[in-house]
Amino acid sequence: MDMRMLVIFLQILVVSFEFAYGAVIDRNRAVLESRSNWNYDDPSSLWPVDFPMCGGEQQSPVNLDRLTVIEATYPKLMLANYDKVFVETLSNNGHTIVLQLPEILSSEEVPHLSGGGLPGIYNFDNLHFHWGSDSNRGSEHRISNQAFPAELHIVHYNQKYADLATASGFSDGIAVLAILIEVSARDNIAFRHIQHFEHIIHPEGSPTSNVPLPIPLEDLIPDDPDAFFRYDGSLTTPECNESVIWTVYETPIAISERQLDKFRELFTSGNIPMVDNYRPIQQINNRIVTYRSSTSEFHPFSRLTFRYGEARFPVQGICFVAAVSVKPAKPAPPDHWSYAERVHWKEHFSACGGEHQSPINLDFASAIAADFPSMMFYNYDQVLPEMLTNNGHTVMMSVKSQSNEDVPFITEGGLTDPYKFFQLHFHWGRDALSGSEHTINGQPYPAELHIVHYNTKYGNFSEAVAHPDGLAVLGIMIELQARDNIAFRHLERFDDILNPDSDKKSALTYPVPLSDLLPDRTGTFYRYNGSLTTPGCNEDVIWTVFDTPIAISQRQLDIFKRLIDSEGQQMEGNFRPVQELHDRVVYYRSEVSYKAL
């Protein structure tokens, strides 16, 4: 064969290869498109035609009936690395919102499940949501025929398989945690960070969107993770592989209606509003549903370490008794004070007997309406290194900022200058009937949070405290709710500061932005001039007390009470009683009335 014929032969071979390879690519693309070319218009009738497995005998979701389930004695489900924070991305796949971890993680690093009756270790792959066009429907599973407004699925695959696609071909391949979602009046803080959908409203050409402040997966787990239903089923979207071990938590999580509406603003690949993206209930057929109940008041996110003698041991849960040794108290300094002697403060700190003392009762009927502009919170959404300290009177949190540009500060809202964040701290009672320093219309709350700022025209807090316009404090009432407050799960890491030591600081593993500690409504507040509520009671504070509280659980409130004060006693009742108003004026800014101006 001469050179000319060889060239012609090679050209023919290349063209033939390109044609064949292109045909393979086209076939693969067609298969992929057919797999994604489905919708929720009529899943019961249409899906089994195009995807035969969707007509199988072990399909999901199902109704979970407490009257017909079989009680099981599984060990507790172990959620490893669920407390870790990774880079997280969001995408709109035309059917739902998907959150994934794009980092290449080792088997030791990746979040994974084990125990709880599972036949192996299951690595996290993704999580996604299902929701309705209104709040009467949206969940895929039901409990005793009750539908919920939405449902979260956290998808894992068996570690013995290479990936989710491979695992989907085996009956023990996939384990999904299903979490029902109900509606509450308050925002869910974790969802505030997840719901950055601006760049993925439409699926076509939408890039993945990084979650600005990633959250640990544990923030999405219900307060009671020990009670759950278990059954064998399928994926709830085509191709409906019957390879899923379902764990459906009995306790729901909650988000606000506003947050649920953000899901409803998304669009499908057909430019149709993405709503009612749930599959109807399937027949249980011959399957068995088991149920594991909570056998104790166990809370996986509370972990305190107590010291007994020289030994340290961790205690998990909330109902326990432990012997706690207390470090020998340091000699009392000249300005030593305690809450047990608060009636005598003015004898040692003259300012504590002044005419403009705090706290006070805030009476709506006698307050004067004010048309202050909205208060502005700058850098409150930033995550900075945060430190906790037990100063013997309270637990205090401060931040370590890299520059003046990133430090949180407040302005407007009737303030004449910007005020820079200095620290925040808490006051709480011996029981849930008292604990706040301020009262509103005569009502005390179980606790109160103070976020302390100083005027930026002064060099530092110590200088500002000497001027009548030196300090601005935000007072936030704290009430009780059944669920944990997710932000406080990260704050309540008191293991290393149980005993008082002003020089010892404990770094928060997962700092929280200050915005997570603000109430849902910051436009309605009381304003008056007062003092610090601890000695020396300097009368240099512009108080802003929000009339909307935040909420934590009783379990979380009890954790504060395990701290030890400067007297070597349990730290509780660390609040000052209400003081006389005297000639001061209290203003009230109503968000509604201001908007109407």
Q: What is the pLDDT of residue 506?
A: 82
289-330 pLDDT, tens per residue? 999 998 633 333 333 332 223 333 333 332 333 333 333 334
Known active-site residue 141: no
377-393 pLDDT, tens per residue? 999 988 888 899 999 99
Question: Per the structure block, which two tokens stand in for 267?
Answer: 């669009």
Whether the predicted pLDDT of 594 surpasses 50: no
231-262 pLDDT, tens per residue? 999 999 999 999 999 999 999 999 999 999 99
Residue 54: what are its φ and ψ, rounded to 5°?
-70, -10
The domain defined by 41-292 carries CATH number 3.10.200.10: yes
Residue 493 pairs with which residues in a beta bridge?
Answer: none
What average pLDDT does this structure show over 4-22? 46
Q: Are 306 and 313 in contact (CB under 8 A)?
A: yes
Question: Of all residues in the chain, what percent carry a pLDDT higher than 70?
Answer: 85
Q: Name the residue ranges covered by the structural domains of the chain.
A: 41-292, 296-325, 353-596
Q: What is the pLDDT of residue 303?
A: 32
Q: What is the pLDDT of residue 63?
A: 96
187-208 pLDDT, tens per residue? 888 888 888 888 899 987 667 8
- Sort residue 140 into left (φ over 0), alpha (ψ -120 to 50) or beta: alpha
Q: Residue length, the chain?
A: 597
Architecture of domain 353-596: Roll (3.10)
Task: Assign 361 to helix, strand or coil.
Answer: strand
Alpha helix ranges (H) inside 93-208: 164-167, 189-194
Decide whether 41-292 matches 353-596 in CATH topology: yes
CA–CA separation, 157 vs 155, rounded Å?
7
Question: Per the structure block, which two tokens stand in for 459?
Answer: 């060099």
Whether the predicted pLDDT of 7 surpasses 70: no
Of the candidates 356, 393, 427, 438, the residue annotated as catalytic is 393
Question: Per the structure block, which two tokens stand in for 547?
Answer: 């009339």
CA–CA separation, 239 vs 83, rounded Å?
32
